[in-house]
Structure 1
Amino acid sequence: MRSSGIFRPLLPYQVAVDVTVAGVFGLLCIPVELTVVGWGRDDVLGTVIMCLLFAAALALRRLSPLLALGTAWVAAITQMALVRPPSIVDIAIFAVLYATAAYGSVRVYWLGFASAIVGAGVITAYLFGEQLLSVSSWALLPLAAAVLVAAGFALLLAWTVGALVRTSLRARQTQRDRERAERERVQEQERGRIARDMHDVVGHSLAVIIAQADGARYAARGEPEATQAALATISATARSALADVRLLLAQLRHSESSAPQPMLADLEGLYAQVRAAGLALRVDVDPMPPADVPAALQLAVYRVLQEALTNAIRHGSGGVDVTMRWLPDRLHLWVSNPVAGPAAPSVEPWDAGQAAEGALGAGHGIVGMRERARLVGGALEAGMVGEAWIVRATFPFAMEPSA
């Protein structure tokens, strides 16, 4: 059910349970009360109305604590107007006070607290008011005080139990909200990772295809064999890119699936694609990587190299040099290639700003490389040094102890 301010949203079965409990309560209380007052009394109708009011308050306690509290007060006033002593129907008052503390708004919460205190005073005044006004009945003061304390304790106990339940419900809701926010954060991170993978896969593959297509166009007449080789490379690269894109889209549709990710062993295939695009690639790895490099680090290194080599294919004017230095606790990676066009100012890589990135038209790619390095605790810097574009990255890692 929808909330309209006064009413709380409840499931249909909850409403049915509350109405059923209230109906049974009213059907039990009416004959009991009529037996006490006598079936032939003139206040039979008043007694029935009183029981129905208490039953209505019980039925409304969860759906609308405010209306339930008001109905309980009307029922209590009716009971006093009929000059009826406290009886079994007053059990509904405790259920209503519990509900105001457990389910009511802040205003209803404090109205329930005030009603418990005021109600204790009203009950005492109702039971001992006339006697206490008599000068000769001061001996009833201790008994009246005891009734006041007992009534206040009973009413406030019901309210306090509801307040504790309210705190528990709020804590569980806060925990659910926190878990939902954490799931959304993880999902957003996963979407970002997939978007970066999509950018790397498509960008690199298209760069290779464009380079091969240009080479095939120039060699179409004089070197038919080179044309055939270029077309074969284009076909293989396109098929590989299509398979990677389908894999990434499958991850978007089924986020729980864990698709295999490229590792250091796949770098040779990446190098082969770059060389097939006509770029002179020189790779220097010293020493060789250890056997237990973390998978997250391997993926980050692969994606950074893929983006750096893609930029070299797009904007480079010559060969590209890749240097990897594996130290006991970190990896140093350098990628360097000359840039076509006018020479950029000679600046240190870590001082190169967004203008240099925009000059290469690779702002998103560089941001992605930096983000990948940051996610594994590393850092990446990119910029012009003379006429060469330099990408320098550092990836720290902890080695697993040997068995």
Structure 2
Amino acid sequence: MIRQLSPTALTLDIVGAVLLYLMLTWMSFIVALPIIGCGPLTGWPLVGLALASVMMCAAVAIGRLAPGLALGAAWVGAALQMASGLTPLPINFGILLVLYSTAAWGTRRVLWWGFASMLFGGLVAAAYLVIVGEAAFGSVTGWERLAVGSLLLAVCVLALGLAWVCGLLWRIARRARRTKAAQLRAEALAAEEQERVSIARDMHDIVAHSLAVVIAQANGARYAVAANPEVAADALETISQTARAALSDVRMLLTQLRHRQGDGPQPALADLEALFAQVRHAGIEPRITIDPIPAEEPPGAIQLAVYRILQEALTNAIRHGDGTVDVQLAWFADRVDLDVRNTVGGDQKSASGGHGLIGMRERAQLVGGSLQAERRGAQFVVHATLPIGAFE
């Protein structure tokens, strides 16, 4: 029944209703003076007009706060006016404002109560005008009286209906604005989620591989430090270089996120040899086959996707494999096929459902490709197909 309304809005509504009362009430008295008869207004017509003016302006004051109550107050004011024998007056402008309020701010039930009031109120007003103006018709026939009544009915319904329809249009506009705002919020949340996924994917690609190499080298250095100090020194050097490279990559990623700049330098095919070198330092010798080789420089997005997928697949091989990895790259005119196979050295379940595989699939999907990662017998196989179009 009562809506949430700010104190400022409620104050403006009340002030507007008071000004409307002061402006329209005296006009209504002037219009009603010759209708009641000669001399000043006295008795019940005067009281009825005063009460009707108060009720209608009060209805306007609470039109946005409580449209249902405002509609009831307007009906009471109209009933008092008709009971006083008064014809339509300037104060009846408040009825139009109340009907507007029911359609614009009322609940669904109040909205349809306003629609019913529009139709029934138009019928009552037309019938009342015909009855009050009976003396003015003189000796006209019943058909003529019916025609006049029908015309009055149409005018009353159109006048009341115009106010109600205007309120309905405002209601639709407000709903459209809310829907648009909700859509923008949803799009913003989706963009934020996409950004978080991108950050998580990049951090995983950068950090996970480097840490896998560091862990493998650290384990080797721990056993070699006493028996073979040179091997331990080489392992520590590899750890240092890998950590520096990872730190540089993380700093570059954080700089891009902080300053919202464009993409910085990204890994490409030329960086694959450094990636393979890191894997070799971790104790795995990948068997690499590239056939056919790319005829020309592939698109940068494809190069990045190939690098990141290979990086994650080799990281899984370091963590879960037994030291043997086969890498096959086939560059065709319209696609590149990537196949990485490593013999499973233990329980491979952790390698088949973590963030790394999710990131690889997302990398493939971002360039319109597909990726499958599954265990086949004693091997874990990562196969990706990335469309690249015809090279120009």
TM-score normalized with structure 2 length: 0.84
Cα distance in structure 1, aligned partners of 2:116 and 2:226: 96
Which residue number corresponds to residue 36 of structure 2?
A: none
- Which SS does the other structure have where 2:234 is aligned? helix
Which residue number corresponds to residue 106 of structure 1?
A: 108
Q: 1:59 to 1:386 in 2, by over 3 A?
A: same
Query: Structure 1: where are the runs of 5+ without partners?
Result: 1-5, 342-355
Question: Equivalences for 1:303-342 in 2 at 5 Å?
Answer: 303-341=308-346
Which residue number corresponds to residue 54 of structure 2?
A: 52
Name the amino acid aligned to 1:62: R
- Which SS does the other structure have where 1:220 is aligned? helix
Are positions 1:291 and 2:293 aligned together?
A: no
Name the amino acid aligned to 1:143: V
Cα distance in structure 2, aligned partners of 1:298 and 1:181: 33
- Which SS does the other structure have where 2:327 is aligned? strand
Which of 169, 175, 189 aligns to 1:170? It is 175
Cα distance in structure 2, aligned partners of 1:289 and 1:106: 68
Cα RMSD (Å):
3.1
Which residue number corresponds to residue 377 of structure 1?
A: 368
- Which SS does the other structure have where 1:142 is aligned? helix
TM-score normalized with structure 1 length: 0.82
Are positions 1:262 and 2:257 aligned together?
A: no
Q: CA deviation at 1:86?
A: 0.8
Which residue number corresponds to residue 41 of structure 1?
A: 42
Cα distance in structure 1, aligned partners of 2:4 and 2:297: 58
Q: CA deviation at 1:382?
A: 2.7
Q: CA deviation at 1:127?
A: 1.6
Q: CA deviation at 1:220?
A: 0.8
Name the amino acid aligned to 1:216: A
Cα distance in structure 2, aligned partners of 1:80 and 1:251: 75
Cα distance in structure 2, aligned partners of 1:255 and 1:110: 54
1:235-263 deviation line (CA, Å, top 9, x unaligned) = 333344345556666777x6956553733
Which of 352, 373, 381 aligns to 1:390? It is 381
Is the contact between residue 126 and residue 152 of structure 2 (CA under 8 Å) also seen in structure 1? yes
1:191-215 deviation line (CA, Å, top 9, x unaligned) = 2232233333332122111101011
1:88-109 deviation line (CA, Å, top 9, x unaligned) = 1111211222222223222111
Q: CA deviation at 1:393?
A: 1.0
How many residue pairs match? The answer is 379
Cα distance in structure 1, aligned partners of 2:331 and 2:307: 15
Higher mean C-alpha deviation, range 126-135 or range 22-31: 126-135
Which residue number corresponds to residue 79 of structure 1?
A: 81
- Which SS does the other structure have where 2:13 is aligned? helix
- What's the % identity of the aligned pairs? 45
Query: Structure 2: where are the runs of 5+ without partners?
Result: 34-39
Which residue number corresponds to residue 37 of structure 2?
A: none
Which residue number corresponds to residue 352 of structure 1?
A: none
Name the amino acid aligned to 2:59: A
Q: 1:243 to 1:115 in 2, by over 3 A?
A: farther
